[in-house]
Homo-oligomer: A and B are copies of this chain.
Amino acid sequence: MSKVKKIFLHEKDMPTQWYNITADMPNKPLPPLHPGTKQPIGPEMLAPLFPMELIKQEVTSERWIDIPEEVQDLYKLWRPTPLHRAYNLEKALDTPAKIYYKNESVSPAGSHKPNTAIPQAYYNYKEGVKHITTETGAGQWGSALSFACQHFGIDLKVFMVKVSYFQKPYRKMMMNTWGAEVIPSPSNLTEAGRKILAEHPDSPGSLGIAISEAVEMAAKDENTKYSLGSVLNHVLLHQTIIGLESIKQMEIAENYPDIVIGCFGGGSNFAGISFPFLRHNFVDGKKTRVIAAEPASCPKLTRGQFQYDFGDTAGYTPLIPMYTLGHNFVPDNIHAGGLRYHGAGAIVSQLLKDKLMEAQSVKQLETFEAGVLFANTEGIIPAPESTHAIAVAIREALKAKKEGTAKTILFNLSGHGFIDMAAYDQYFAGKLQDHEVTDLEIKESLAQLEKVM
């Protein structure tokens, strides 16, 4: 009965540097290209959108990046986050596997997103930026950045994917509470939005479209910068604090994971939990399997194509080397709004291409089944995004049971589901269905892409 369930880390043991995986990758990610010239872009092309310090972090090959003291100080409002051993879940599954989860749900916004929102707002503040635009899917990123911008006195406009804007009204209210303005996307405020609305007046929106709107607004105003909650290298960098803390906590637990799992939208929480463990694969000969859990309705890692594509729908961003379904792909309206993104970012795409990580797709009903089992055993109602990681953890725990191996599994609980209860309500009412995208849909979306390139 006296088994320790939660491993806390004292604030003085919180990591003071982020880990940059590009320093250790056997093959470096390909460079982003200018869409017109198809030549690698220089930092100066990103300057209208980002402060210089973040651009430096985007392209650096330094292995360790110092976390500014002011950022550390704000992190400590909730960090280090606890690492839990899921004894009750293990018992329910009757598995010999040891299941651990890192609990990022205890942050102000209820997810891992403040880990990068705070440094991004901080570097903008240091360079005198007063206005920022961004996009948000399920609203986790938007609310995290609202909290961060409010702290540093920066005005924030958030383009929120329309389907989530209506599915998750409480997220909008949180952003308002932290002083941000929230606009359902596609909107009439931008050319990109107006174009989509003209063609598809009922468009549910997508992250790709919302990014186009936020980028357009920032690019057109020299006093406004743009901030992205995933995909880019500097965003993934900031999230590595999750895995760096986890390594220390697994040491305290006198254990080390055979398998590390994160759900996958743009890649930030997945990178956060897994990159520090991949480092040990690269430099210490560890053999941890690292698995990205993506929705079956948006399967860029398991069924997409590796090639250059835009990060947004309108084609405003540089071309990024990525596993993609095509930047015009509009995923089904699943409740895991944070995972509805067409592409994967340069680093993760290279890692997957080089078979240094794995990916699994999960259908919506399986994710909710996993989420309810987790809520009933471990007590925390998980965000629909996080249920993808739980579902894959359960798959692997049941596989371990079949094989009779006491595998150690670690997954990232990226966020709680308190604000996603309507999704659970629909699940219990039998109103949710599995939607798997067809081969034809993917083929058509990618064909459209080839025409553009």
Contacts and interface: CB of A to CB of B under 8 A. Distances in A.
Contact of A375 (B73, B177, B375, B425): B177
Contacts of A416: 418
Interface in A188-231: none
A6 B88 contact: no
B5 A11 contact: yes
Copies of this protein in the complex: 2
26 contacts: A1-B69, A1-B70, A2-B12, A4-B12, A5-B11, A5-B76, A6-B11, A6-B76, A8-B8, A77-B84, A77-B88, A77-B378, A108-B375, A114-B379, A151-B376, A169-B421, A169-B422, A173-B421, A173-B425, A174-B381, A174-B418, A176-B424, A177-B372, A177-B381, A416-B418, A418-B418
Contact of A108 (B12, B170, B379): B379
Interface string A1-34: 1101110101110000000000000000000000
Nearest to A176: B428
Contacts of A372: 177
Interface in A131-179: 147, 150-151, 169-170, 173-174, 176-179
Interface string A289-326: 00000000000000000000000000000000000000
Contact of A177 (B6, B174, B421): B421
A78 interface: yes
A106 interface: yes
Given A78-B379, A379-B78, A379-B107, A177 B428 contact: yes
Interface residues of A, number: 49
A380 B108 CA distance: 5
Interface string A357-383: 000000000000000100110111100
A35 interface: no
A110 interface: yes
A49 interface: no
A414 to B, nearest CB: 16
A350 interface: no
Interface string A404-439: 000000000000101101101100100000000000
